[in-house]
């Protein structure tokens, strides 16, 4: 009797610890604000019971709406982040209980569950609002019900899981086999099928909510056809991105995904444990245990299908914004079930009922991973994304339009506007892809206006532009009477290249101008960059992949303003900003070459009078070419004017002078000088091409 009470007490204590220890750890390291990539969006959806990006995650949003409404402590984003911590801790509790249902010793079950809790990936996604710990929780709950032989509840839970992440639906045949084998049980199949379908009730609620047009309503789907389009993720190509024209499926990517998955699995669980578990799963006698057969096939099926469906994305791409490891969490839960069964068998064979050595080894692993991952996963002081949003929006004038393709800046900005009541005078336009037309629903006053066709025609001439670029261009062309700004970034440099002559640096933004020869206020841009909260951030200072990429917004902004300063002959200030850009991300030779160019140009500027007096054609030509490269066309034309005075028979100098004048918009003067160059050298191709380009302007 006494022994039974002790066992019951141990059971209760370990169950409580399995939940509250991870929860305390996650609360300690919880993100205090929104961080990449979806946390601000998800928090806003919770607040307004809104519709997030496809497929919408309606159950998660519904639970979040309820939780953030009743939880009395903290800001909206804190509550949303803390909900992930609760789901993370709840998953660990269920993993512990499921392991005991697999007849794994309680102490081993507890330590294995805690091992999952301190693994880097699981820990990371328990610290901010995201849908992945909720997905892991639903999978763990479903298997708990299966192990308890609750068939009806298990199929209902599986339906809930599939309504959140469709991939869970592939487990339905395995569950049917588990409960009834290969027998045809029509009545059971119908009832369980009905309960599985009932688990999709959040989708019905999402459809009804869409028609109410909530404050956050991604896609603004209308009617059954619009809803079907939305839940199939057609905006992004398909449910699993397979038909997205920007992402191509290849077998090489499949192999990369499988390789990186097993690398992640191996290093997430101490190398030894994954190796022996996978070997035992293949060669062990798991087929004698129905539960382990189910878990094994569920694990292999989930992993195989998930990785193949992700294989439109190159997981090894350095600047790939997708954080692939978040898709691993559900399979990691199943892996821990297998690992527990394997470890339990090994312990019994080697040590009988004495498990002290195994427990000690597990405890050491848990402590090593806890200490090793603490710095990386301690988000308690991570305000980078919020500061970036505040840095950006504080630079926009009242009444201006801010255009961005950054998910975190847009939804972080909306969070600041809707929740914190800041930057209300700024209109943010978000362009996630060429199909999304949400801006037209949110801001109809900016669309349907007269398009400046001359502006569009001038920019489109001679360029091959995609649908997304054209849509942004037409939006700008309807609102040229407003101040329009585009957020800078590495992706944006390429995406908005067609506007290059029409954008001038403005701190972290480019300001759109209708005259390509207009001068930007480079001194104002310089001032804006001198008063940033993230002024000294570096690529290596942050751990989150998306935040690393976001640091490059600062690098690009320092760079663009630095080049603009160099174009006005402010070489020292230009060098300071380019060096700051290089400090953010010390990679690439282009910035170093530009620094060398600016320093050399500064030297030649100090020697200009001497070069003219000595009639040093080579030195002046180098100086003029440098000025042209830096965009100082006025000074460039001055230098080449001096050169043609020194030698009136040098066709190349006339050609170079013409190029400088053309870049200033002085087309007739440029044409005259191209013709002078051709009169001196009829075979000078550069001058022929220059004249041809003038004709196209």
Is the pLDDT score of 526 beyond 60? yes
Tokens 């101040």 identify what position?
483
Q: What are phi and psi of 203, to 5 degrees?
A: -65, -35
- Cβ-proximal residues to 207 (8 Å cutoff; 6+ apart), any chain: 224, 227
Is the pLDDT score of 342 beyond 70? yes
Is 463:435 a contact under the CB 8 Å cutoff? no
- Total residues found in the chain within this entry: 697
Q: Kindly report, residue by residue over 107-146, the tens digit of the pLDDT.
A: 999 999 999 999 999 999 999 999 999 999 999 999 999 9
Sheet holding 401-404: strands in order across?
A: 427-430, 401-404, 484-487, 509-512, 503-506
CA distance 373 to 294: 32
| pLDDT for res 510 | 96
* End-to-end CA gap in the chain: 95
Tokens 């970034």 identify what position?
489
Is 601:566 a contact under the CB 8 Å cutoff? yes
CA distance 416 to 418: 6
CA distance 241 to 308: 11
How many Cβ atoms sit within 10 Å of the Cβ of residue 13?
Answer: 12
Name the 3-class secondary structure at 485. strand
pLDDT band at 265; cut points 50, 70, 90: very high
pLDDT band at 249; cut points 50, 70, 90: confident
Give the torsion sign (CA, 649, 653, 658, 664): negative
Is 637:660 a contact under the CB 8 Å cutoff? yes
| pLDDT for res 697 | 53
| pLDDT for res 228 | 92
pLDDT band at 182; cut points 50, 70, 90: confident
Residue 486 β-bridge partners: 403, 510
Is the pLDDT score of 285 beyond 80? no
Task: From residue 546, give the alpha-carbon distance in Å to each of 42, 118, 253, 306, 372.
Answer: 17, 22, 21, 22, 21
| pLDDT for res 242 | 44
Mean of pLDDT values over 346-363: 78
Q: Kindly report, residue by residue over 678-687, the tens digit of the pLDDT.
A: 999 898 888 8
Is the pLDDT score of 585 beyond 80? yes
Percent of the chain with pLDDT over 90: 69
Tokens 């479903």 identify what position?
142
**424 class by beta-carbon count within 10 Å (0-12 exposed, 13-18 middle, 19+ buried):** exposed
Burial string for 50-86 (b: 16+ CB within 10 Å, else e) reads bbbbbbbbbbbbbbbbeebeeeeeeebbbbbbbbbbb
Is 399:147 a contact under the CB 8 Å cutoff? no
Mean of pLDDT values over 581-601: 89
| pLDDT for res 246 | 55
Is the pLDDT score of 627 beyond 70? yes
Percent of the chain with pLDDT over 70: 94
How many Cβ atoms sit within 10 Å of the Cβ of residue 283?
Answer: 8
CA distance 41 to 201: 23
pLDDT band at 15; cut points 50, 70, 90: very high
Among 541, 594, 593, 601, smallest CA distance to 569 is for 601
| pLDDT for res 163 | 95
Reading the block at residue 241, the tokens are 């991105």
pLDDT band at 185; cut points 50, 70, 90: confident
Query: Rg (Cα) of the chain, in Å, rounded?
Result: 31
Q: Kindly report, residue by residue over 41-89, the tens digit of the pLDDT.
A: 999 999 999 999 999 999 999 999 999 999 999 999 999 999 999 999 9
Is the pLDDT score of 509 beyond 90? yes
Round the average pLDDT of the chain to a whole number and report it: 90
CA distance 118 to 137: 16
Helices (H), 49-131: 58-70, 76-101, 106-118, 120-124
CA distance 612 to 6: 98
CA dihedral of residues 180, 181, 182, 187 (deg, nearest 10): 10
Query: What are the structural domain ranges in the chain?
Result: 12-374, 384-600, 607-696
How many Cβ atoms sit within 10 Å of the Cβ of residue 399?
Answer: 10
Mean of pLDDT values over 175-185: 90
Among 623, 522, 607, smallest CA distance to 568 is for 522
Task: From residue 364, give the alpha-carbon distance in Å to each of 20, 25, 179.
Answer: 20, 18, 38
Looking at CATH, the fold of the domain delimited by 607-696 is given as 1.25.40
- Cβ-proximal residues to 2 (8 Å cutoff; 6+ apart), any chain: none
Tokens 């090793």 identify what position?
372
Kindly give the interhelix angle for 651-663 and 685-696, rounded to the nearest 10 degrees. Answer: 20
| pLDDT for res 190 | 94
CA distance 472 to 496: 9
Name the 3-class secondary structure at 290. helix
Residue 217 β-bridge partners: 51
How many Å separate Cα 610 from the centre of its chain? 53
């Amino acid at each position: 009797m006494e022994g039974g009470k002790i066992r019951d007490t141990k059971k209760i204590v370990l169950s409580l610890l399995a939940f509250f220890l991870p929860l305390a750890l996650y609360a300690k390291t919880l993100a205090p604000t929104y961080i990449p990539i979806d946390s601000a969006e998800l928090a806003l959806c919770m607040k307004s019971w809104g519709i997030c990006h496809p497929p919408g995650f309606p159950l998660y949003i519904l639970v979040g709406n309820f939780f953030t409404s009743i939880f009395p402590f903290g800001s909206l984003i804190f509550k949303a982040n803390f909900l992930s911590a609760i789901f993370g801790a709840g998953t660990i509790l269920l993993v512990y209980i499921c392991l005991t249902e697999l007849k794994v010793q309680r102490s081993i079950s507890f330590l294995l569950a805690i091992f999952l809790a301190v693994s880097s990936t699981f820990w990371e996604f328990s610290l901010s609002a995201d849908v992945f710990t909720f997905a892991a929780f639903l999978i763990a709950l479903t298997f708990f019900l299966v192990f308890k032989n609750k068939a009806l509840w298990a199929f209902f839970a599986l339906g809930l899981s599939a309504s959140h992440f469709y991939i869970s639906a592939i487990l339905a045949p395995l569950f049917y086999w588990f409960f009834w084998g290969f027998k045809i049980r029509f009545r059971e199949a119908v009832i369980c099928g009905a309960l599985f379908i009932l688990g999709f009730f959040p989708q019905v609620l999402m459809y009804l909510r869409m028609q109410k047009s909530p404050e956050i309503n991604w896609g603004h789907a209308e009617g059954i056809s619009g809803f079907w389009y939305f839940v199939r993720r057609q905006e992004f190509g398909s449910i699993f991105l397979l038909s997205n024209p920007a992402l191509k499926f290849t077998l090489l990517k499949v192999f990369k995904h499988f390789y990186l998955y097993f690398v992640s699995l191996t290093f997430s669980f101490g190398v030894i444990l994954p190796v022996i578990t996978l070997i035992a799963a293949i060669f062990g006698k798991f087929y004698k245990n129905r539960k382990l057969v189910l878990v094994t096939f569920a694990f292999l099926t989930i992993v195989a299908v998930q990785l193949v469906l992700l294989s439109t994305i190159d997981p090894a791409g350095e600047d790939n914004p997708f954080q692939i490891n978040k898709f691993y969490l559900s399979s990691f839960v199943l892996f821990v079930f297998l690992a527990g069964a394997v470890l339990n068998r090994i312990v019994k064979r080697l040590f009988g009922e004495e498990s002290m050595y195994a427990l000690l080894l597990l405890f050491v692993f848990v402590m090593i991973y806890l200490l090793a991952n603490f710095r990386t996963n301690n988000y308690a002081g991570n305000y980078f994304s919020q500061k970036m949003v505040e840095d950006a929006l504080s630079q926009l004038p009242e009444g201006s339009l801010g255009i961005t393709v950054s998910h975190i800046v847009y939804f972080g900005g909306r969070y600041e506007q809707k929740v914190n009541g800041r930057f209300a005078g700024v209109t943010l336009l978000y362009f996630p892809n060429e199909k999304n037309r949400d801006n037209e629903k949110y801001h109809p006053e900016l669309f349907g206006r007269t398009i400046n066709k001359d502006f569009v025609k001038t920019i489109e001439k001679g360029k091959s532009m995609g649908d997304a670029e054209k849509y942004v261009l037409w939006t700008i062309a309807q609102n040229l009477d407003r101040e329009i700004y585009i957020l800078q970034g590495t992706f944006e440099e390429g995406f908005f290249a067609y506007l290059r002559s029409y954008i001038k640096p403005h701190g972290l933004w480019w300001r759109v101008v209708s005259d390509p020869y207009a001068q930007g206020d480079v001194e104002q841009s310089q001032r804006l960059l001198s008063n940033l909260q993230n002024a000294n951030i570096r690529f290596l200072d942050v751990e989150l992949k998306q935040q690393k990429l976001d640091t490059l917004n600062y690098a690009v902004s320092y760079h663009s303003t630095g080049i603009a300063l160099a174009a006005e002959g402010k070489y020292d200030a230009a060098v300071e900003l380019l060096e700051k850009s290089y400090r953010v991300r010390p990679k690439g030779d282009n910035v170093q070459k530009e620094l060398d160019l600016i320093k050399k140009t500064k030297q030649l500027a100090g020697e200009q009078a001497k070069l003219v007096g000595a009639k040093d054609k080579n030195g002046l030509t180098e100086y003029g070419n440098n000025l042209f490269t830096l965009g100082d066309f006025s000074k460039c034309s001055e230098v080449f004017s001096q050169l043609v005075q020194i030698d009136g028979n040098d066709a190349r100098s006339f050609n170079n002078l013409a190029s400088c004048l053309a870049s200033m918009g002085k087309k007739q003067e440029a044409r005259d000088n191209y013709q002078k160059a051709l009169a001196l050298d009829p075979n000078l191709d550069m001058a022929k091409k220059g004249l041809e380009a003038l004709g196209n302007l």
